[in-house]
Chain A
Amino acid sequence: MPDFVTSYLGSTLTPGEAGNQFWALVYVFVIFAGVSLAVMSMNWLERKALAHFQIRLGPMRTGPHGLLQPIADAIKLLLKEDIIPAGADRFVFWVAPLIGLLAAFTVYTVIPFGPSQAVSDMNIGILFMLGVSSLGVLGVVVAGWASNSNYPLIGALRSSAQMVSYEVAMGLAVVSAILMTSLNETGTGTLSMIGIVRAQQEQGVWFIFKFFPLGLIAFIVFAIAMVAETNRAPFDMAEAESELTAGYHTEYSGLRWSLFMLAEYAAMISVSSIAVTLWLGGWMRPFSRLLRGSAWDLIFSLFPAVTFMGLAAVAFVGVVRMPRRSDFKVQKIGLAVFGWLLGFIALMLLIIAIAGRSNGAAIPSTVNQSIGYIYWFLLKVAVFMYLFIWYRATWPRYRFDQLMRVGWKVLLPISLTVLVATAIVGILLS
C-alpha cells in the first residue's frame, strides 16, 4: 500500500494536520455518508421510539419492524412533486435549504471522533463550529422570506430569533468549558476540539464533573440551548401545527423539504457532538482513570463487539417472536439477514479487539484503539439522540414569549454566573 495510506494509521495527527489529502478525503466521504445514514436511521429510531413511548408500534409494514421505512420515505420524498409557490423568489427558494445543509455538514470537519479521527484539527475548532452552525439561521430566514407567504415568514422570524437568542447562552456555556481547558501548568487554554478532549484527559476528569456543580450547570445550560438551537421539542415552534404558524418550511415539499429535515437531524448530531466533546470527555472511555490496566483495557475494548452482538441478538429475538405465518416469511428472512450482518460486524470487532492487542500483530493496535475511540464517542452522541426523542415524547411545547424568556432571563444569567464562577474558582485553584 502506498505510504500516504499506511502512514496515517500509525500517526497521532489528523489528516488535516498531517496534510494527508487522501485520508482527509476519505473522512469527508465517510462522514457525509455516515451522517446521511445516521439521519436515516435516526428517522426510523425516532418513529419507533416515539411510538413505543406512546404505546403504539410505529412503522411495521415496510420491512421487518419497519426497518426499510426510511428508504421508502426517501424514495417517496424524491418522487414527490417539487412545488415552488407562485410569487416565490425561485433562486432564493432553491438555495435556502442548501445553506442550511451546508452549514450543518461543514461543522463535521472539526468533530473529533478520536485523537486523530477527524478531518482536521483546527486551532479555532469550537469557534468554527459555533460560527458555521450559526449560518444555518440564514437558511431558515431566507427560506421563510422566499416562500412569499405570511406564515412561513413569521415562522422563519420566530425560528431565527429563537436560534440567535439561544446561541448567546450556548456560547457562554461553551466559554466556561473552554476556560476549564486553561487549568494546566502553562495556563493556556485551547479552542481546538481535540485540544479540549486532551485537556480533559490530562486533568483526568470530564468537564461535566469539573468544579462540581459548575461544569454540570454549564452542561445543562448547553443541553437546553442545543435543543432550542435545533428547533426541537419542547422548543419546536417550527412544527407547532396546532398554532398559528407552521414554520419556515411550510411551503416546501418533496426533496427540498427533506433537505431541511436532513439539516435538522445533522445539526442535532453535531450539537450533541459538541456537548460530548466539551463536557463528556469526547472519545474517552468511562472510568479511564479509575479502571486502568490491561485487563480493564481488554474489557472495555470488547464493548463494541458486545454492543453489536446485543443488536444481533435483538434482531434474532425479533425473528423468533414473529408470527408463524407464511406471509411473514420474507420479513423473517430479512430480519435474520440483518441479524447475521450485525453478528458478522460483531465478530470482526471481536477479532480486532483480541488480535489487535499486541503491537506485533497483523492488525495494528492503533486500529483497535481507534475503534474504541469512535465507539465511545458515538455511544455518547447516541444517548443525546435518545434524549431528543424522549423530550419530544414527554413535554408540551413552550409558548414563544416563554421560550424567549427562558433564553434571555433564565439561561443567559445562569451561564454568565457559571462563567464568572468558573473563572474565579480557576484563579483561586491555580
Chain B
Amino acid sequence: MTLSDENAANIVAGTTQDHVSGNDSPKTYLDSNELIINMGPQHPATHGVLRVILKLDGERVLGTECVIGYLHRGVEKIAENRTYAMFNPYVDRMDYVAAVSNGLGYCEAVEKLLNVEAPARAKYIRVILAELNRIASHQLWLGTHALDIGAMTPLFYTFRDREEILKIFEKYCGARLTTHAFRIGGCLYETYAGFEKEVKNFVKFVTPKIDEYEALLTGNRIWMERTKNVGVISGPDCIALGVTGPVLRASGVQWDVRKAQPYAAYSEFEFEIPVGTTGDTYDRYLVRMSEMRQSLRIIEQAVNGLPEGPIMAKVPKVIKPPVGEIYHSIESPKGELGYFIVSDGTTQPYRLRVRPPSFVNLQALDVMVRGLLVADVVAVIGTIDIVLGEVDR
C-alpha cells in the first residue's frame, strides 16, 4: 500500500475514503469502502513516535503500514566516526529501556573481534546486570501494555519495582537508564559493597511482586478477553518474518540465544526457556512473566556463584582490532540483538551494523493485526514490545 501525497494530506487531516479499492460505482462510506486512518506519531499508545497507517473496513483492519524513522539518529554512521571505546555509550541510546543488554552485546562483539575474553567475574557481573535489565524492561513493557488495554494500576506497580533495579544500576555505575555499565574487555567498576546482598534482597522482594502482577491480570476475564486470540502469529510465520525474542517463543519455538549460542556466562546457569502454544497476546504476556522468573533464577545463581578475580581483561589502551569482521548477537529483552562489525585495522569501526530486534519484530505487526479491530491494534503494538529508539536508531 503506497500513499500518494494527496492521500497523505488526507490522512493528516484525520480520515479519508480510499477510492483505490477498485469499486467502479460510487459508493458511500456506509457501504464500507476502505477507510484510512492515521495513528501516531503523536499517539499515547504507539510507544513513542511510531506512525501506523491503518486501512480499515469499518472497524476491521485490512492492512497496516508502519512509518518509522522519526527517531533516526544515524547510529551506524556515528559509529564510523568514533573509536571503539567512544561508541560504547551510544549503543545505550538505542534500546534505552534495556541499555545494559545493548552494551553487553557491543562489548562482546568487539572483544570477539579483538580475540580477548572477559574474565569470569566480569562475565558474571554482566549476566547479573543484563538479567536485572531484562526484568526492568519486561516490567516497563507490562505496565505500558496493561495501560494500553485500560488497566491503569499495573503501571504503577511495575514502576515501583523497576525503581529498585534502577537503584542498583545507579549504585553500580552512577546512571539509571543509559548505564554504560561495561567496557570492552570486562567491566570498569568493581561491585560496590553490599551489591550481592542488595541483589539477593531484590530477588526476594520482586518474586512476590511478579505474583502480584499476575494476580491483577492473569486470571482477569477482561484481560483474557482482550488478549486471548488477539494478534495470533504462528511459529513458522515468526521464523519467516525473523521475529525473535518472547514473541517467537510465545508461538511455540523454543529458541533463545542464551541457550542456542551461549555468550557471557550463560552456559553455566540453569534456566528454562518458557514457550507459549498459540502465539497470541496472552501467551506473549505469560511468556514474559515467566521469563522474569527465569531471570530471577539466573540472577540468584550468578550472585551465589560470583567468582573472585579481575574484572578487566588485558586490552590495549588504544583499541585497534585486526582487519576482519564479526557478527555477534545476544538475547536482548526484545529478541536477538546483533552487531556486525567490520574492522579495517584502525581505531574506528569501518562499518558497524546493528541488527535491532524491535525493527525486525515490528514487521510482524501487519500479519498480526489483519482482521482484528482497531482497538486490538493498540494491544498488538504493545505486545510486540518495541522501543522506537531501537527501531529507528
Contacts and interface: CB of A to CB of B under 8 A. Distances in A.
Interface of A: 50, 53-56, 149-151, 233-234, 236, 240-244, 392-402
Contact of B220 (A56, A151, A393, A395): A395
A123 B295 CA distance: 66
A241 B44 contact: yes
Given A243-B378, A394-B153, A396-B222, 6 more contacts: A50-B152, A53-B153, A242-B378, A394-B216, A396-B150, A399-B375
Given A243-B374, A392-B152, A399 B157 contact: no
B315 interface: no
Contact of A244 (B156, B157, B374): B374
Given A150-B14, A243-B378, A397 B157 contact: no
B108 interface: no
Interface string B135-158: 000000000001111111101110
B150 A240 contact: yes
B160 interface: yes
Contacts, number: 77
24 contacts: A53-B153, A54-B152, A54-B156, A233-B150, A236-B150, A240-B150, A240-B375, A241-B44, A242-B147, A242-B378, A243-B45, A243-B374, A244-B37, A394-B153, A395-B150, A395-B151, A395-B220, A395-B222, A396-B146, A396-B220, A397-B222, A398-B150, A398-B222, A400-B59
Nearest to B216: A394
Given A244-B37, A398-B222, A399-B376, A393 B149 contact: no
A146 B146 CA distance: 33
Interface string B223-244: 1011000000000000000000
Contacts of B223: 396
Interface in B167-189: none
**A53, A393, A397, most chain B CB atoms within 10 A:** A397
Contact of A399 (B45, B147, B152, B373): B373
B15 interface: yes
Nearest to B374: A244
A50 B153 CA distance: 9
Nearest to B382: A242
Contacts of B217: 396
Nearest to A242: B45
Nearest to B13: A150
Contacts of B148: 242
Interface string B187-224: 00000000000000000000000000000110010110
A148 to B, nearest CB: 11
A242 B376 CA distance: 11
Contacts of A240: 150, 375
B149 A397 contact: yes
B153 A393 contact: yes
Contact of B375 (A54, A55, A244): A244
**A149, A236, A243, A392, most chain B CB atoms within 10 A:** A243
Interface string B313-355: 0000000000000000000000000000000000000000000
Contacts of A242: 44-45, 147-150, 378
Contacts of A241: 44
B152 A243 contact: no
Q: Is the interface of B mostly helix, strand, loop or mixed?
A: helix
Contacts of B157: 54-55
Nearest to B230: A399
Contacts of B152: 50, 54, 392-393
B153 A243 contact: no
Nearest to B15: A150
B47 to A, nearest CB: 10
Contacts of A53: 153
A399 B45 CA distance: 15
A50 B151 CA distance: 12
A396 B14 contact: no
Interface string B351-393: 0000000000000000000000111101000000000000000
A400 B375 contact: yes
B216 A399 contact: no
A430 B141 CA distance: 59
B392 to A, nearest CB: 22
Nearest to A245: B374
A56 B156 contact: yes
A214 B15 CA distance: 48
A151 B15 CA distance: 9
B160 A396 contact: no
**B149, B160, B375, most chain A CB atoms within 10 A:** B375
A397 B221 CA distance: 11
B149 A396 contact: yes
A125 B5 CA distance: 59
A55 B209 CA distance: 13
B151 A396 contact: yes
Contacts of B149: 242, 396-397
B3 to A, nearest CB: 19
A397 B373 CA distance: 14
Contacts of A244: 37, 39, 374-375
Contacts of A401: 59, 373
B225 A398 contact: yes
A241 B14 CA distance: 16
A55 B222 contact: no
Contacts of B59: 400-401
Nearest to A395: B222
A202 B192 CA distance: 74
A399 B225 contact: yes
B130 to A, nearest CB: 28
Contacts of A398: 150, 222, 225-226
**B39, B150, B157, most chain A CB atoms within 10 A:** B150
A236 B149 CA distance: 12
Contacts of B153: 53-54, 393-394
A402 B378 CA distance: 16
A240 B375 CA distance: 9
B156 A55 contact: yes
Which are the 5 A-B pairs with shortest beta-carbon distances?
A397-B150, A54-B156, A242-B45, A396-B151, A396-B150
A234 B155 CA distance: 16
Contacts of A233: 150
Contacts of B373: 399-401
Contacts of A243: 45, 374-375, 378
A153 to B, nearest CB: 10
A402 B153 CA distance: 22
Contacts of B14: 149-151
Nearest to B149: A396
**A240, A393, A395, A399, most chain B CB atoms within 10 A:** A399
B284 to A, nearest CB: 16
A367 to B, nearest CB: 44
Contacts of A393: 152-153
B46 to A, nearest CB: 9
A166 B222 CA distance: 18
A244 B155 CA distance: 21
A396 B375 CA distance: 13
B289 to A, nearest CB: 16
A181 B4 CA distance: 66
**B148, B222, B374, most chain A CB atoms within 10 A:** B222
A399 B226 contact: yes
Contacts of B374: 243-244
